[in-house]
Chain A
Amino acid sequence: MIVTLQKSIYNIKAIRNTVYWFSKNFEILISEQSDVFELSCAEFSEKNKKEFIQSLNDFSLREQINIETKDIKNLVISKAFYPDLIKFKDIGEFDDPVNIFKRNGN
């Protein structure tokens, strides 16, 4: 069975993550055309394909979250392990979680 996925919709990382978990039971080959990825797997049934697509959709969401948040994650982890290397604020400076400064025009 061949599953065709639009490149504009599906990220290759999400596809690879899905293939990784399915590779326990299936041999899946990924090939690349100009605007699609083609996944071929001889053993796939319709049920397998449905499960694969469901899993792929979730990995696509995870990849979107990753793209949007990876810089923050790296910053937080760097700060956690090297607290003195990255300074988010000077000593004595106020945090402003409910925007008091902003409401006072600062």
Chain B
Amino acid sequence: MTPLISLKEMGINNIRKEFRKFQKLQFYDDLDSNSFSLLPFNFKRLNSGRQLIISMVGDYLIVPNGTVENLLKKNIENIDKSLYYDLLSNHVVSDSHDIKSLELLANRYRAKKTNAFNFAQLHIFVITLRCEHTCQYCQVSRVSQNKEKFDFSHLNLYKGINLMLASPENNITMEFQGGEALLAFDLIKDAISYTKEKARLVNKKINYVICTNLAPINDEILEYCKLEKILVSCSLDGHEELHNENRKRPGRNSYSLVEKGLNLSFDIVGRENVSALMTTTTLSLEHPIKIIDEYRKFGFNSVFLRPISPYGFATKNKNSNYQTNEFIKFYNKGLDYILELNRKGEYFKETYTAILLKKILTAFSENYVDLMSPSGLINSVIVYDYDGKIFLSDEARMLAQMKDFTFQIGTVNDSWEKLLNNPIIEKIGDAGVNDYMAGCSTCAYNIYCGADPVLHHATQGDMYGFRPESSFCQRNMSVLDIIFEKIDSEPDALDIFKSWVNNE
């Protein structure tokens, strides 16, 4: 029996010793467990009949049916002892009446929402609108000539770079997009040269990325990329027939150019500096396995099964209009195949699933704009368009191609003070936080999800959006349902998912 001594009598050194030492097992078994209180959590029902409980910081537990009801009624005798300890350690219940025990929860919440404390780290420069492809789903208008009109002017480019360097983050990614960015390769070289010189003065680290369809790539460009440590991000939609159908160009040879460009890129800049991205069209929906195999063929160990964004020209094309449930079938089939590959010993992951898994299985979040709440606009990305306009996201720029300038905050001629005083920023502050939005605030998945005011404005004419008809909501709820159903019903799925988060 521990003697009763007061805090004062114990003295600081004795208190320290008392706290450091391991107690007998019985000590921990005898916690004040008969009077627990609930911490904020939400739940869903799984197909197995079990309940999925998710804490306010994203810890989850799959528990027997009736657990939520027992917790609310404080029926501790109906809750298994080991389950009770799981509920305690996963911040679903608390047996402490001390407000200080909430300190950890506040720190965990802060870690989960860490993006809200940042400014944009990704600065996208649409260096030119020119492109020699005429992809039917392309979200932006593309033009093939008139360099003067559709390339960044040097003056605007340097003003944009000055703004980027005046922003608060010290570690910045500068991404060159198009059109086809490499059609303005000389301009990219000028931009990087200017940025390097100026970044040195303000002690900022800049990472460079060029997004390209690989058609114009050659040894000279890649040697430059190697020299400047530029990452190459390319488009690969799948096997040859699909890729060429999706990504049309004179000669119908987009795929063979990608194949040649990828192999050349691997040789010169190294496989680790090259990534690929696919877009799902109606034509892709039947071929998840072929698409995944195409990525494996090129030696990639991941694929991002990415739906089309409902913006720009994509909304006008028959190959871009499909229902979210069709995409979910495609995704599910693809994920099943990827899990089978992992079961056979091949490390391969689906990127969107991995982004969500990081939120589910770790204390942190991925810096992915769509799945941020508060919204990743401003906090994560800024886009400088070829004509000097500044937008809150790439999707906002696509909307502007349809003459909707709602998310344009100004131009490169403005100061940050003026740009950030744009009234749209305040509106996004409201419409970009899912904790307090109809449909989201009561959703068990909201800690893993985002708000995406741009998509809801584009698809529903309302930044807040009506969740029962939101493609964003349907997609994310379905993907999360699939992930948790797999964790619940497939014994090895969790181990595979953990390996994706740990990159091993």
Asked if B101 contacts A97 (CB within 8 A), the reply is yes
A-B interface contact total, Cβ < 8 Å:
111
The 8 Å CB contact of A105, one of B4, B32, B42, B442, is B4
What CA separation (Å) do A106 and B15 show in the bound complex?
A: 12
Interface of A is mostly: helix
Asked if A23 contacts B38 (CB within 8 A), the reply is no
Q: What chain B residues lie within 8 Å of A76 (beta carbons)?
A: 40, 56, 102, 105-106, 109
Which of B23-31, B166-174, B452-460, B491-499 lies at the binding interface? B23-31
* Interface presence of A91 (CB below 8 A): no
* Interface presence of A47 (CB below 8 A): no
Q: What chain B residues lie within 8 Å of A59 (beta carbons)?
A: 442
Q: What chain A residues lie within 8 Å of B68 (beta carbons)?
A: 61, 65
* Interface presence of B45 (CB below 8 A): yes
The 8 Å CB contact of B102, one of A23, A62, A79, is A79
Q: What chain A residues lie within 8 Å of B28 (beta carbons)?
A: 98
Interface residues of B in 1-33 (CB under 8 A from A): 2-7, 10, 15, 18-19, 23, 27-28, 31-32
Asked if B469 contacts A24 (CB within 8 A), the reply is yes
Q: How far is the CB of A12 from chain B (nearest CB, A)?
A: 14
Using a Cβ–Cβ cut-off of 8 Å, how many residues does chain A contribute to the interface with B?
A: 40
A14, closest chain B residue (CB): B442
Q: How far is the CB of B441 from chain A (nearest CB, A)?
A: 9
B435, closest chain A residue (CB): A77
A95 in contact with B110 given A61-B69, A62-B42 (CB within 8 Å): no
Render A15-29 as a binary contact track against B, CB cut-off 8 A, 1 for contact: 001001101100000
Q: What chain A residues lie within 8 Å of B103 (beta carbons)?
A: 79, 88-89, 95
What CA separation (Å) do A73 and B55 show in the bound complex?
A: 11
Q: What chain B residues lie within 8 Å of A68 (beta carbons)?
A: 37-38, 72
Most chain B CB neighbours (cut-off 10 Å) among A70, A79, A96, A104: A104
Q: How far is the CB of B5 from chain A (nearest CB, A)?
A: 6
Asked if B439 contacts A20 (CB within 8 A), the reply is yes
A54, closest chain B residue (CB): B45
Asked if A83 contacts B106 (CB within 8 A), the reply is yes
Q: How far is the CB of A46 from chain B (nearest CB, A)?
A: 21
Asked if A94 contacts B56 (CB within 8 A), the reply is no
Q: What chain A residues lie within 8 Å of B439 (beta carbons)?
A: 20-21
* Interface presence of A99 (CB below 8 A): yes
Interface residues of B in 320-379 (CB under 8 A from A): none
The 8 Å CB contact of B19, one of A69, A94, A103, is A94
A72 in contact with B101 given A61-B72, A62-B442, A104-B7 (CB within 8 Å): no
Q: What chain B residues lie within 8 Å of A21 (beta carbons)?
A: 439, 467-468
Sample of 16 further A-B pairs with CB below 8 A, known A62-B442, A80-B113: A21-B468, A24-B466, A24-B468, A62-B43, A64-B72, A77-B106, A79-B106, A80-B109, A88-B99, A95-B100, A98-B28, A104-B2, A104-B3, A104-B4, A104-B10, A106-B6
The 4 closest A-B pairs by CB, nearest first: A24-B468, A79-B106, A105-B4, A80-B110
